[in-house]
Structure 1
Amino acid sequence: MNQANGNHSDVASALRAAVVDTTASMSRGPSRGAPPPELGPLAKSIAGEKVDPAISTIVVAGAARLAEFLLIIVSGFAVQLGYVYPHEGMPVIYPVAIVTGAVLAILAFQSADSYSPHGLRSYGRQIGKLAVAWLGVFAILALGAFLLKLGDAFSRVWMALWFLAGLAALTAFRIAMASMVRRWTRSGRLERRAVIVGGGDRAAELIEAIKASPDTDIRICGIFDDRSDDRSPPVVAGFPKLGNIDQLVEFARRTRVDLLIVTLPITAEERLLEFLKKLWVLPVDIRLSAHTNRLRFRPRSYSYIGNVPFIDIFDKPITDWDFVVKWLFDRVIGSALLLLALPVMAIVAIAIKLDSRGPVLFRQKRYGFNNELIEVFKFRSMYVDQCDSTASKLVTKGDPRVTRVGRFIRKTSLDELPQLFNVLRGELSLVGPRPHALQAKAAERLYDEVVDGYFARHKVKPGITGWAQINGWRGETDTPEKIQRRVECDLYYIENWSVLFDLYILAMTPISLLSKTESAY
């Protein structure tokens, strides 16, 4: 590859493709039928520590911009209503000036680096910067009014009061924001918890480079390496080796890990692929260290932590603002759907009670995001003494365990409606890979024994409906091909998620339920 013209995105794409395309030949991690690898005492201790959920610095900065934009707008209109309106009414020139001033202010604050984590964390010097920038905005507005010969159209008292009110609001907001950001920083919510994959000298050089970089958000938890202690020391640059790669997968299931940094050189292709084939199923960012690589690409081809360059291999799906949008989508649309579905759910509940004895709802343990166990609600469709909580035996056509009402609600998927409560509890999404029962099988084999890379579908929160379901891959999975196709659809959804995609799947779900019922019973 030519050093001048090479682009690391080609390398990253090739690695991703190699990992996904060769999962059939990967050395498999432990399946659900086997116990997970035992963590060492230190790894177990770290994994057992209480860790708060992460907060995206991108979302925090964006929320701060929006809040300050609204504060400036509100202060401007408040002064206009209090001082200008009684004398002049509501001339349109004032709203134009207010919105223009708010836009200029946010651009000025951004130029002053006021929305970086450091800028949001400290308010002493930042308030001074904001005051200077805010004064500069008014200087620009005054100059614009002079050049456009609009000086007499504005009240000078209004301008002065808006300046003071806006400055007071911004100052109060910055003090409150700095207090929150400091608290989140102390609790680790604004940090990225990182694990180094691969030890030795390369790991030591990388750790020292990260430590030397200013204002990074990385907290290194430890090192995992398959090599023995004589080739990979038990302690590197002050950080302990916590286990091997199989143990890393279990470690990342037990505690929050945001970033995996692989220290292997890009030339170690075989070993690199061996690592990635085990790690790509985790819902984390995976980066390849380029700090000591002799092969150099264009500077813009890298991502950076501080001053340290990295090659992006895998990204955690649905993060930052995408996560916020999907959270709002689930809560708002989910609440609306639940209200609409309540009459139907009441009728189904009465029918179940009249048809057979036992509770209306059936609770079943399933695997959720990152293999976490969740309890999913369903309407009971089987006789109470024959319910299968682990789905060790899948329902087949004419299954005698299913009640009369159960056959109908299973075929129409009305039995899934109580999962709207799981959505509002944050355990499920409206749209996503369907959560499978613990012992669900295809051709008498557990799903993850049939499909390599099966757990990659758990990189996002599971859903009530999904891309696989509207493409006909719902119901019985009596052959390996059926679960293989379902997983392929799930991975396609994860890679191509968007709000419009979710809306399309939701809109197509009723049509699919009516037209593709041959496998649902």
Structure 2
Amino acid sequence: MQRNVRLGLCLLMLLADMAALAAGFAAGLRIAGVPLFSGDIWQPLAGGMAAYGIVAFHNQAYNPECLTRLTCSLRSALMAFAGTLLIFLLVVFSLKATGDLSRLGISTGILCSGTLLVLQRLLIVHSVRRNFSDNLFAQLLIIDDGVIPDDVNSMILVDAAAIGIKADLDDPYMLHRLGTLLHGYDRVVISCPADRKADWAQMLKGANILGEIIVPELDPMAPLAVENCRGVPTLVVARGPLNLANRAKKRLLDIAITVPLLIALSPLMIVIAIAIRLDSPGPVFFKQERIGRGNRLFHILKFRSMRVEQCDAAGAASTRRDDDRITRVGAFIRKTSIDELPQLINVLLGEMSLVGPRPHALGSTAEEQLFWQVDRQYWHRHALKPGITGLAQIRGFRGATETRRDILNRVEADLEYLHGWSLMRDIAILIGTFNVLVHRNAY
């Protein structure tokens, strides 16, 4: 039944794709003033739609995973759309048929079709998730003296001992019984003691099914993949979140924005520096050790907002509202976030990025616990360069960390940013930062 449902949904997605392409080009032709029922137009467009169906099928655009995974669905559909456009344009130019087609109509049709294609894919994935959730795939959980997960919703549970199935590689009839049991399922998960895991793994390898074995002892390591080192299997537990190309794009964005900003804001920074010197004796900048990328220490720069004799180099005491350590100028520049401007120099030096997890002082605490004692995942956030602003900041998680939840909110937001990085998200966070430059927690 579940396979039939998936097949029906995949056919629906195919029809929705074709409808989106037809409606998009119809809208484009209408905007260009071309008659909708002109055979000279729809004949090549019908060929293009057929080509899209073939390319999309080859590109796994109708794989059942596209029903529930939005990124997979959009990527495969848009790649097929781009490939079809390339084929369409090559054929049109090779046949020298460009004069017979409305360029405005074709251009507008391409834009409308691409938009409708994305919108209907969004709608289908959202509807399937809401109405089917995990019930779209048949899943079997075999318990062989192992732990039972807390959430077994939509899974069929089988007690291996009760039905007489065990991991026996020397008994062909046992493997036959297992194969018969697994027939019709899309995924099987085995829960068993450590000494049986290898045998169950061997049995599943020939079962023609997605097979998994519960390994609770690996949970503290949270492995990403399995690799091999000189013939010995290894667990991959960490890898850099950004590849070389993405690191280059992020750095180029930093440079492109930081250099003009430093030039434009230099008069303001000079005025602030003079005001700080006139307000209280001491240096203009406050330097403090912070944790940077790769958990390496660096010195962050800020405009000094506290009296020199009361500055907290370790950051052990969070700044409080109406803190008597803060100078008059310091209160203003902290409230308006102007005290953060010297960090543009850190960005220019490559120690920070415009967007990233905010770097914390070594002595920062929440409920008398150091940040990394509150949550060990705290160290994960340093896989990226620290930022002047970040996802946590635009969500309002800033100011004093009085409770454990204060730092947990920051860590959760930082890890979400780390695992879902994109250049457009950086730009969106920079835009969102303008809304929180002046914030009730900035003091």
Normalised TM-score (structure 1): 0.43
Which has the higher Rg, Structure 1 or Structure 2?
2
